[in-house]
Amino acid sequence: MFSIRPIPCALAALFAASPVLADDLVLQRVLVEGSRLSQLGIADSANAGSVGQKELAARPAYRPGEMLEAMPGLIASQHSGEGKANQFYLRGFNLDHGTDLATWVDGMPVNQRSHAHGQGWTDVNFLIPELVGRLDYRKGPYSARDSDFASAGSAEISYANRLAKDIASITLGQDGFKRAMIAGSPELLGGTLLYALEALDNEGPWTRPDDYRKRNGMLRYSRGYANNGWSVTAMAYRGKWNATDQIPLRAVEDGTLGRFDAIDDSDGGNARRYSLSGIWRQTGQESASKVSAYVIRNQLDLYSNFTYFMNDPVNGDQFAQPDRRVTSGLDATHTLHVHRGETMASDLTVGARLQNDNIFNGLYDTRARERIRTTREDHVVETSGGVFIESATRWNEVVRTLAGVRANRYRFDVKSDLAANSGRASDTQVSPSFSLIVAPLASTEFYLNYGHGFHSNDARGTVAAIDPKTLDPLERAPGLVRSRGMELGMRTEAIPKMQTAISLYRLDFDSELTYIGDAGMTEAGDASRRTGIEFSNYWRPLKWLAVDFDAAYARARSRNGDRIPGAVEGVGQLALSVDKVGPWSGALRLRYFGPRPLIEDNSVRSQGSATLNGRIGYKVGKNLQLELEGFNLTNRRDSAIDYYYASQLAGELSPRDDIHFHPIEPRSFRLTLTKTW
């Protein structure tokens, strides 16, 4: 193992320009022996990191969204069918389906604004894990480069331009799990053609099977390298599923329902995503430029029933949330490397981001997926623009700073079926940020971070005047809600073969305002404050053994002192990875998801959960590997998610407040055969 001393920005640029590595996505990073990437001299906070392809591949993952759990402190859960966007938890937030977690894949935003089901909807089911080259993450609003949804954290997933070897795999597992994947990157016309196809079927352990059918494909042509070249990428994804949504605890305890039963067998959905994107980069000794553009078409039909027969005792409470949208955007950055003497250097970066969403969505009462009544129908055009300037300066061998400011403007245009809920609105925010990094030793850095960020609210809430169901008057929501964060952190590699980071943070929001898609209205909350501590440790005592331990605790409160329902408190993971033991490899990962308050006075709380996943791999030959993955190895009967609200089952005379939960899947195994050439 070795640690790196802080290096001047210009020297980092020269290193980035070298095309000697086979996987060009590892450029601009120095590898610690094994697979964890050192952030000394690179990261501007203790919470930022980069996880390479090798480490990501070693992690057992039940679903694609769990890849994001490589970000310490993050939990990816599910409360419905496998095709639905995951539920995310981080830094004292129940992030719902993605609010305040900005997620990007190959320069394209995944979060969907003004979505029918929830603001910031983040569906990563289109990911093909074998193509992922790197996951970069950071937390808190401390960089002017980040904008909407990034206050709790941001994650950027990069696909490789080329594969070290072509690959094909077949996976069979319990509960009707089947997956086939093939990918390759032949040379073509002076460039590289990367292709991948994936087909997945999954019934799941549910009484009414998920019947999840996923078809996925990707095609990319690239020339040059990741830091000096260009690429054009097309992606296509389609998923269709049934859903076993959360069920009331009372019905399980009295024997009316089994843990894996559903109440409304017609819940489920289907999703489609098609995209075309391009990236151009040019890097030299004195400057670096990047331009990316994209067009994304997303379609979703989602059918849910969370209250059963409370609102409509005859037809039931199922509702439909269709969403159709085309998202287009352009990002551009230009960096100048400025040298002042032998030890002082600066990177001055300016950038701009444009995005437009053309959205058609609605909310309908349904029975067995057939429409009964219309609650609302809307056409939303949401346009945003942002510019930033950021200066990263290395003053000497000990001190670095990062200072920046970002300005964003949003325009909301809503045409609703109710004239009172139609209109236009706009909002603007300027967000400054500053970081001080002190490196008294070559192996240790200290961080002080401060910054402003924001999340956008649903466009419909910015112009709505009346509740579409009751016609009661509503208070309009602001377009942008400001956050303010500050953090103290430390990162060290002073202990040989070990990387350790610890951070203390505080994050304030002016309001917890969110659009509640299930009700078709905006719900206002008080200002909030979250404080917490995070610890992460990576240790590689032997060439063939790695130990990964992360723990985090957060305290989330409304400014009036109330608890925030669903806010995550304690989380942690302990992972052991084994490699290069002859033909053998393997991993064990224990994940802890702590209890959470379910209502404001904390009188009802969820139970914590602990799951153990693992994998064993064996190289049958030079290009053939057999791998066995196991999930929930101890067969715990825990909840994947818990809520507390009122519902009414058939036969009940009135609604009842109760815990509603979605169980984690029981112990299951999957066997994969992988061929490379």
Of 59, 274, 53, the C-alpha closest to 164 is 53
Instruction: With beta carbons less than 8 A apart as the criterion, state whether 205 and 668 touch.
Output: yes
User: Is 16's pLDDT higher than 60?
Assistant: no
**pLDDT given at position 12:** 37
Query: Facing residues of 408 across strands?
Result: 386, 429
Instruction: With beta carbons less than 8 A apart as the criterion, state whether 76 and 95 touch.
Output: no
Distance between CA atoms of residues 501 and 499, nearest Å: 7
User: Is 227's pLDDT higher than 90?
Assistant: no
**pLDDT given at position 522:** 55
Instruction: With beta carbons less than 8 A apart as the criterion, state whether 361 and 320 touch.
Output: no
> Residue 585: helix, strand or coil by DSSP?
strand
Instruction: With beta carbons less than 8 A apart as the criterion, state whether 125 and 239 touch.
Output: yes
Tell me the per-residue pLDDT of 99-121, one tens digit each, with 9 for 90 and over. 899 999 999 999 999 999 989 99
Instruction: With beta carbons less than 8 A apart as the criterion, state whether 563 and 525 touch.
Output: no
The more confident residue out of 22 and 592 is 592
User: Is 34's pLDDT higher than 70?
Assistant: no
Distance between CA atoms of residues 67 and 55, nearest Å: 11
Q: Does the pTM exceed 0.75?
A: yes
User: Is 64's pLDDT higher than 60?
Assistant: yes
Instruction: With beta carbons less than 8 A apart as the criterion, state whether 675 and 167 touch.
Output: yes
Q: Which positions ≥6 away from 377 have C-beta within 8 Å?
A: 361, 362, 416, 417
* pLDDT band, residue 580 (cuts 50/70/90): confident
Tell me the per-residue pLDDT of 384-426, one tens digit each, with 9 for 90 and over. 999 999 999 999 999 999 999 999 999 999 999 999 999 999 9
- The number of helix segments (H) and strand segments (E) in the chain equals 4, 39
Backbone angles phi, psi at 461, to 5 degrees: -75, -20
Distance between CA atoms of residues 649 and 120, nearest Å: 31
Distance between CA atoms of residues 377 and 516, nearest Å: 15
**pLDDT given at position 540:** 93
Task: Give percent of the chain above pLDDT 90.
Answer: 84
The more confident residue out of 21 and 205 is 205
Give residue limits of the domains in the chain.
9-676
* pLDDT band, residue 524 (cuts 50/70/90): low
**pLDDT given at position 519:** 61
Tell me the per-residue pLDDT of 337-356, one tens digit each, with 9 for 90 and over. 988 877 889 999 999 999 99
Cβ atoms within 10 A of the Cβ of 30, count? 17
User: Is 139's pLDDT higher than 60?
Assistant: yes
User: Is 285's pLDDT higher than 60?
Assistant: yes
Pairing of β 521-523 and β 480-492: unpaired
Distance between CA atoms of residues 570 and 163, nearest Å: 38
Distance between CA atoms of residues 347 and 144, nearest Å: 14
- Please state the separation of Cα 544 from the chain's center in Å: 30
The more confident residue out of 5 and 442 is 442
- Please state the separation of Cα 69 from the chain's center in Å: 9
Tell me the per-residue pLDDT of 629-672, one tens digit each, with 9 for 90 and over. 999 999 999 999 999 999 999 999 999 999 999 999 999 999 99
Distance between CA atoms of residues 629 and 669, nearest Å: 6
Instruction: With beta carbons less than 8 A apart as the criterion, state whether 280 and 333 touch.
Output: no
Of 192, 111, 172, the C-alpha closest to 628 is 172
Distance between CA atoms of residues 42 and 392, nearest Å: 10
Tell me the per-residue pLDDT of 162-203, one tens digit each, with 9 for 90 and over. 999 999 999 999 999 999 999 999 999 999 999 999 999 999
Instruction: With beta carbons less than 8 A apart as the criterion, state whether 194 and 186 touch.
Output: no
The token pair that represents 87 in the structure block: 């539920």
Instruction: With beta carbons less than 8 A apart as the criterion, state whether 502 and 490 touch.
Output: yes
Instruction: With beta carbons less than 8 A apart as the criterion, state whether 458 and 421 touch.
Output: no
Which amino acid, residue 596? R
Instruction: With beta carbons less than 8 A apart as the criterion, state whether 66 and 87 touch.
Output: no
Q: Which positions ≥6 away from 100 have C-beta within 8 Å?
A: 90, 93, 120, 149, 150, 151, 152, 153, 455
Instruction: With beta carbons less than 8 A apart as the criterion, state whether 32 and 498 touch.
Output: no
Sign of CA dihedral 215, 272, 363, 117: positive
Architecture of domain 9-676: Beta Barrel (2.40)
User: Is 11's pLDDT higher than 90?
Assistant: no
* pLDDT band, residue 296 (cuts 50/70/90): very high
* pLDDT band, residue 513 (cuts 50/70/90): low
User: Is 29's pLDDT higher than 70?
Assistant: no
516: part of which helix (H) or strand (E)? strand 514-516
Distance between CA atoms of residues 448 and 446, nearest Å: 7
